[in-house]
Structure 1
Amino acid sequence: MLKNLDPLLNADVLYALQSMGHGDELVICDAHFPADSIARETVLGKLLRIDAVPASRVLKAVLSVLPLDTFVDAPALRMEVVGEPQTIPAAQRDAQRELEASGEKASFAPLERMAFYERAKRAYCVIASGEQRGYGCFILKKGVLMKADNEVRSGDPQ
């Protein structure tokens, strides 16, 4: 057990999040998403799992360590409901609440279903959740944590 680290973040997920660079994207998906086949086409090339919890809970865990990109208009995307692009299903409302609670200054922008699948294939990785509700699928773009020039951390050379 690690201190101040969400227990949902297993070693594989932490490795992927740390390995991502500024601008890389990750997918958090529901149980209905073709996660394994899409994940095989990503940079990581394999599916990551955080089972038995809703997508919003996975989002909360990921956002506890991952900054969103502040240099783009939409660092957080949600899959649009087919034929109802303005509809926000319960899974997406829960995820929006977690996004707001994280302190990030973003909201989920919509992305059409087939465009979402194509973009997901170009992501760094896919994290499958245990979300049973439909449309619990999201893409996040990683940002940066800037260190101030005068900031010195313990262990840094002086």
Structure 2
Amino acid sequence: MLKGISHLLSPELLKILMEMGHADEIVLGDANFPAASHARRLVRADGHGIPALLNAILPLFPLDTYVESPVALMAVTPGDTVETPIWEDYREIVQQFHAVPVEFDEMERFSFYERAKNAYAIVSTGEQALYANVILKKGVVV
């Protein structure tokens, strides 16, 4: 254990966050996300929800301020009636850790999958909310 670092961050996940450089991306995939088939590096975080992981990651992880949208969400498929209240949770959590307002991009599902394939890593979570997947683009530590 380390002081000041959430117990939700496994040694493997901490290593990946440290290895990532400016503009590298990490995906936090919900329980339905095809993480194993899309990941270059896969981290398991079974049993943990994405809001809790965001609260653990974002104090350590700067978002990219050189792009319009350093956070991307998987958009609800047209015609699907799924509600996405978890997105508001994400916005509140991001705002807590980043003084500069952060724009969220909403990406079509298959475009999101393609972008995820190029991410530095994918974290497979136990998040049960639908359309809860999120991509974070790392910024510069100043």
Shift of 1:88: 6.1
Q: Distance in 2 between matches of 1:88 and 1:102?
A: 25
> Does the Cα contact within 8 Å between 2:51 and 2:90 map onto a contact in 1?
yes
The equivalent residue for 1:18 is: 18
Shift of 1:107: 3.3
Q: Which runs of 5+ in 1 are unaligned?
A: 40-44, 147-158
TM-score by length of 2: 0.91
The equivalent residue for 1:34 is: 34
Query: Given residue 134 of structure 1, which amino acid in structure 2 is its aligned partner?
Result: L
> Does the Cα contact within 8 Å between 2:41 and 2:120 map onto a contact in 1?
no
Higher-Rg member (1/2): 1
SS, match of residue 100 in structure 1: helix
Q: Within 5 A, what are the aligned runs for 1:73-88?
A: 73-83=68-78
Q: Once superposed, what is the RMSD of the aligned Cα atoms?
A: 1.7
Moved over 2 A (4+): none
Shift of 1:53: 2.1
> Does the Cα contact within 8 Å between 2:68 and 2:103 map onto a contact in 1?
no
SS, match of residue 69 in structure 2: coil
Q: Does 1:140 align with 2:136?
A: yes
Shift of 1:29: 0.8
Query: Given residue 111 of structure 1, which amino acid in structure 2 is its aligned partner?
Result: M
Q: Distance in 1 between matches of 2:97 and 2:76?
A: 25
> Does the Cα contact within 8 Å between 2:63 and 2:136 map onto a contact in 1?
yes
SS, match of residue 94 in structure 2: helix
Q: Distance in 1 between matches of 2:52 and 2:79?
A: 25
Shift of 1:30: 0.2
Q: Does 1:2 align with 2:12?
A: no
Q: Distance in 2 between matches of 1:135 and 1:114?
A: 12
Q: Distance in 1 between matches of 2:78 and 2:112?
A: 15
Match of 1:126 among 109, 112, 122: 122
Q: Which has the higher contact order (CA 8 A, sep 6+)?
A: 2
